[in-house]
Amino acid sequence: MKTSVITLAHGRHAHLAAQQQALLRSTRLPDDYIVVAMADPEIPGRFPDPLLSGTVIEVPASGSALPLAAARNAGARAALDRGAGLLVFLDVDCLPAPELLAGYASAARDEAAAGRLLCGPVTYLDPPGQAGYDLDVLGTLDAPHPARPAPGPGEIVPDENPDLFWSLSFALTAADWHRIGGFCEDYTGYGGEDTDFARVAQRRGIGLAWIGAARAYHQWHPTQDPPVQHLADILRNANLFHDRWGTWPMGGWLEGFRKLGLMRGGTDEVPCTLTQPAPHPA
């Protein structure tokens, strides 16, 4: 089964380069590597690494918001057109463990995970030293995020809760991608589109499976909690999600914004609205 890795990027060039160095250390190299450059004209001339078989496709921005849902769909279309049987989506900040690709490929053939969205544990790393992360010792830093299941290497844990899905690191077969139909492109910018994707998958009989062998390591970058820099995107996408599903996503973030006095609503049937102009995204 031809395995294609799909990564979206806008900036984060150093993180993208480090990801590719980690991919080159894989016990199973990707058969294809699709970099989706979102409104970033510098990427096509610099990536992918010549030692990796792959290509760059370009997707324009949607106004001021990055088109994450549309970019994932574009990456998948490119991979499928190039013969992919297994799609592996890696966030640009994620460094794959050497066994990640082999772990996803094995799980796609395993009865316990067949017909499911395959999700790997992700460790959030501390800031690196001046020399960057030492790829030889990533495994010693393994401490998966506690908000998600983290089975040990070699273990597979089926899961029926679509709201635990995240798009940092996941894989699915071409057949399952076609059954789901891709990400809803009504979502623009940050937030909600991945939970929506997993809800659609569940509606079509596709649950989750946590793959212990498919570990990844999230490179540090500055952030805010709640992510005020994405406030306008999150509120717009939360309203869309509620219209589609009747529930509110990203509850912790919405509560954080309310406590900061940045929004009202986002509870019961009251839509999210800004109480002051949203900060400009960084």
Distances (CA, A) of 197 to 17, 54, 150, 180: 28, 26, 21, 8
Beta-bridged to residue 210, according to DSSP, are 119, 157
pLDDT for 280 equals 60
Residues in the chain: 282
User: Domain ranges in the chain?
Assistant: 3-218, 228-274
φ and ψ at residue 28, rounded to 5 degrees: -130, 115
pLDDT for 152 equals 96
Residue 228 token pair: 């005020």
pLDDT by residue for the chain (282 residues), tens only, comes to: 999 999 999 999 999 999 999 999 999 999 999 999 999 999 999 999 999 999 999 999 877 789 999 999 999 999 999 999 999 999 999 999 999 999 999 999 999 999 999 999 999 999 998 889 999 999 999 999 999 999 999 999 999 999 999 999 999 999 999 999 999 999 999 999 999 999 999 999 999 999 999 999 999 999 899 999 999 999 999 999 999 999 999 999 999 999 999 999 999 999 999 997 766 655
Burial 161-184 (b: 16+ CB within 10 A, else e): ebeebbbbbbbbbbebbeebebbb
Total Cβ atoms within 10 A of residue 81:
8
Distances (CA, A) of 103 to 33, 37, 133: 17, 27, 22
Residue 40 token pair: 């970033």
Residues 6+ apart with CB under 8 A from 140: none
Note the helical H segments in 82-221: 100-108, 174-180, 193-203
* HEC letters along 117-140: EEECCEEECCCCECCECCHHHHHH
At residue 216, the 3 state secondary structure works out as strand
Beta-bridged to residue 257, according to DSSP, are none
pLDDT for 281 equals 54
φ and ψ at residue 46, rounded to 5 degrees: -120, -20
Query: What CATH code would you report for 3-218?
Result: 3.90.550.10
